[in-house]
Chains A and B, each alone.
Chain A
Amino acid sequence: MPRVPLVRVEGKTYTVRPDLSMTAARFAQGEQLDPEARDQIARDTEAAYGLGDCLYFYAGFACPGFGDVVLAYDPELSDGHPGNASTFDTGGMFKGYIQGGGLASDADRAAHTASDLGALASWRSRLDIWLTEHFRDVVAYLDHTRPFGADPSGRLAHPANDRRAWTLEVRLHAAVALFDHLAFAVVRQDFLQQALAEAASTSALLDRLLDLIGANRLVASDPTEPCELATSRIIAYASPSAGASP
């Protein structure tokens, strides 16, 4: 079973709880990831589909639509936490961005989400089955390749859909420490320098960031976009034979 990291993309200002946005200062302080750090679409989705208050990750996908601070965690991050998982982006489903012949109405989408809902504890075994059924291998899942096969909703084959229609969304009902189980983080150069500046007055915080840089676990992507660089590192993490060392 490939080790696919849990990926969370941060960096922008949340409209509901802007104080929980991942600023360079909060990154330097190592502030925990909190389920409260989510926007109104996520809250509406959770209410409509009964998902609970969630801390969101994708299995192996650094989605550029969510920001430019990419946090990739070892899959063991989820161990021991309550939560659930889906084989698509539930916010995109709720908003109607994910299309398919069986997803025409709100009721259709709610029914499909309910039938797809799985327990957090089984997300890795579920991903393994998902890969077997719809992808040549894990690299195909991680590098934007469209899935083969069909599903009752028609979302996998619909030409208007993108990766968010078939990437596992993994949701924790818990806050987690920012740097525990962190496999690597990819940020922009301006963010990294700001974080180093913020940490400079506290020796332990600065040493922690420098430790991560020294271990090649905290990197600036410039001039490459963070999510683009993160994608190659995610592939290398999940399939070491397919790419450079993560």
Chain B
Amino acid sequence: MTTGRVIAFDGTPVAGGAGARAAIISVEGDDLLRVTDGRTLTHERLADLVRDGFVTAVEGELVAPSLDGRAVYRSIGEHRPGVAEELDGVRWTRQEDIEVTYLRSQDAGAVLEAHADGRRLEALAAHADGRPKDAVRLARQGLMAVPGLRESSLAAKLYAVLVAEALHDADASRQVQREIKLMLASSLHEIATLQGYAIFAGRSTHRASSELRDVDLDRAKSRSPRTPATAYRELEV
């Protein structure tokens, strides 16, 4: 199998966001650079594209074990230690305000799901702490990353945070409901709405918040890395 080094990825990161992008790979001995969507580039063209902001250069060593993967970036946010979004075997290269890794396409989804779920827990914590703007911002950041948004129960849970924070305002509430109906499969509308009501009513936020604090402390630090979803499920037992 041909291997190489990831030297850039397509596009520019969205502030606070995360996503999977086509990677630009240098293979030793090849004059042309390979793009994982099938294109090729010359080094000269890549330099132009980087200079003009069309692609993002990757700093540091990032190995591409195959040429059919995806570059995944995530913004470096205000992660709580207990909701670190780490999966076994995933190594991140850090640069400025993002981290980058290279994964098989099927693994990229799992990493983005973990990132989005981490944002959900942060959003719940922000809601519980009385920081509605932070809660909305964090929920949106989760929605930027969640794979298969339309059919995703995680997306419904993220929209639930938006529902909860909009309930004080009739117009905002109407628009969130409209967005949910446009963005999510019909089977998820009710889940998003009811969970939003529950968050608003404080039936779940206090629990989520206190659990997060538990995760932050000894229990999280004493265990091997796991996804936030796994950590959350452990606490729900």
Contact = CB atoms under 8 A, between A and B. Distances in A.
B221 interface: no
B45 interface: yes
Interface in B122-149: 136-137, 140-141, 143-145, 147, 149
Interface residues of A, number: 35
DSSP class of B's interface residues: helix, strand, loop or mixed?
A: helix
A191 B20 CA distance: 13
DSSP class of A's interface residues: helix, strand, loop or mixed?
A: helix
Interface residues of B, number: 40
Contacts of A203: 171, 175
A189 B140 contact: no
Contacts of A13: 12, 52-53
Given A210-B182, A225-B37, A24 B10 contact: no
B14 A190 contact: yes
Interface string A1-38: 00000000001111100000100100000000000000
Interface of A: 11-15, 21, 24, 39, 41, 64-68, 97, 188-191, 193-194, 196-197, 200, 203, 206-207, 210, 213-214, 220, 222-223, 225, 228
Interface of B: 10-20, 22, 37, 39, 45, 48-49, 51-54, 105, 108-109, 136-137, 140-141, 143-145, 147, 149, 171-172, 175, 178-179, 182-183
26 contacts: A13-B52, A14-B53, A15-B52, A41-B52, A65-B45, A67-B11, A68-B11, A188-B14, A189-B144, A189-B145, A190-B19, A190-B144, A193-B17, A193-B144, A194-B17, A197-B137, A200-B175, A203-B175, A210-B179, A213-B179, A214-B182, A222-B20, A222-B147, A223-B147, A225-B10, A225-B37
